[in-house]
Amino acid sequence: MSDIQELINQVQKEAQKEEFPIDIPVYKSAKLEPTYPVLYAGNLQSPLCFFGRDLGKDEVHARQPLIGAAGTKVRQGFYQLIHGKTTNSIEELKTICDRVLLTNTVPYKPPGNKAYSVKVKERFRPYVERLLVFHWQGNQIITLGTEAFKWYARYREKGELDRYFKRSDRYEEKLVVEITATDDRGNSKQKSIILLPLPHPSPLNKKYYAIFPKMLQQRLAQIEF
């Protein structure tokens, strides 16, 4: 198994092989090479991972997933759990990375925040699998939004995640998936992961935005730390 920096280098090499949509102006303004992946932030020893769709402008500038408007909601909820108080300080919210892992389906920012195609997601899937299976030591993932949750569809029977997502209790119950990853040396490893889906905490998600903090605390109460 390669170390985590090797994995990041492998992702960048993959990105350099063939062009795909990247929001170049945002990367230029952030003084970040567009093919350099923001693969994760946080603690690889943490039992919990927050899993989102892809990067936004704020994430590129910060070199961390989940630090824009939606990600701040997530960080505030986790900070409250750990410290018993709330904060709006970006620097204080960054400290949650000591206790949790943050990552996405694709470690890049698409132009205009339009979701990446299935082709792009599948292209980078093996590297995200390696991150989750070989490098991360936890096994509980809170997915944020439909795109993030359905990234895991291939790890259950066809149509099973779609059926689960139609349930009224989808944001209270859990789902176990078995993920197999293969590293760059051909070594394979399987891992059981518990999914705890939540809606995306975007201000545009009017159905859930106001109640997301409460939903997040209910989910966090289910996590084994």
pLDDT at 201 over 90: yes
pLDDT digits (tens, 9 = 90+) for 82-109: 999 999 999 999 999 999 999 999 999 9
What is the pTM (predicted TM-score) of this model?
A: 0.97
Q: What pLDDT sits at residue 1?
A: 52
Taking residues 131-144, what's their average pLDDT? 99
pLDDT band (50, 70, 90) for residue 2? low
Dist. CA 54–CA 194, nearest whole Å: 21
What's the token pair of residue 158? 């066809």
Q: Strand order of the sheet with strand 175-182? A: 40-42, 101-104, 48-52, 140-143, 188-195, 175-182
Given this model, what pLDDT does residue 18 score?
97
Given a cut of 80, is residue 33 above it in pLDDT? Answer: yes
pLDDT in tens, 125-136: 999 999 999 999
Boundaries of every domain in the chain: 4-220
Measured CA distances, 45 to 55, 69, 88, 150, 152 (Å): 23, 26, 26, 25, 22
pLDDT digits (tens, 9 = 90+) for 150-172: 999 999 999 999 999 999 999 99
- Average pLDDT, integer, range 41-55: 98
Return the pLDDT at 113.
Answer: 83
CATH number of 4-220: 3.40.470.10
Q: CA-CA distance, 195 to 220, in Å (whole number)?
A: 12
Instruction: State percent of the chain over pLDDT 70.
Output: 99
pLDDT(75) > 80: yes
What 3-state DSSP class applies to 43? coil
